[in-house]
Amino acid sequence: MKLASVRLIAADIRALVSFYEMVTGVSASWLAPVFAEIVTPGATLAIGAQETVALWSEGSAEPCANRTACLEFQVEDVDADYARLKDRVSLVHELKTMPWGNRTFQFRDPEGTAVSLYMPATEAAKARFAAR
């Protein structure tokens, strides 16, 4: 089994897609007016408009309500990305090294979802990611 994508449901799909294009530097592929994908080497970030929820089951997802998941993007130089984004995003925390060895900062997207950019910083973290 392979984790292929994470999907966010957006109240304002154009604003959310533009935000993730800015963060990732990747242009979205619009597969329908209510659905876009940002394809990265590790997985795809799918973004659906609120109207797409009815295609599953009414009320099965709700935009602007996430407080349990965090989207994490591994980057080459977290310090450079922090400098590029710190004044353009709503920071949750500044750059820090976590107990498991990743150097990271966290912010929220326009609809409240937590996003972290990180890179392995300690030797143990670098070894863990090199083995993947």
In this chain, the answer to whether the domains covering 1-65 and 68-132 adopt an identical fold is: no
The CATH topology of domain 1-65 is: 3.30.720
122 φ, ψ to 5°? -85, 165
Q: Report the predicted TM-score, pTM, of the whole model to 2 decimal places.
A: 0.92
Three-state secondary structure of 110-129? CCCCEEEEEEECCHHHHHHH
d(CA 22, CA 85): 9
> What sign does the CA torsion over 15, 12, 38, 65 have?
positive
User: For residue 23, what pLDDT band results from cuts at 50, 70 and 90?
Assistant: very high
User: For residue 72, what pLDDT band results from cuts at 50, 70 and 90?
Assistant: very high
Percentage of the chain modeled with pLDDT above 90: 88
d(CA 122, CA 97): 9
DSSP calls for 27-48 = PPEEEETTEEEEE-SS-EEEEE
Reply yes or no on whether the pLDDT at 20 is more than 90: yes
Domain boundaries, the chain: 1-65, 68-132
- CATH number assigned to the domain covering 68-132: 3.10.180.10
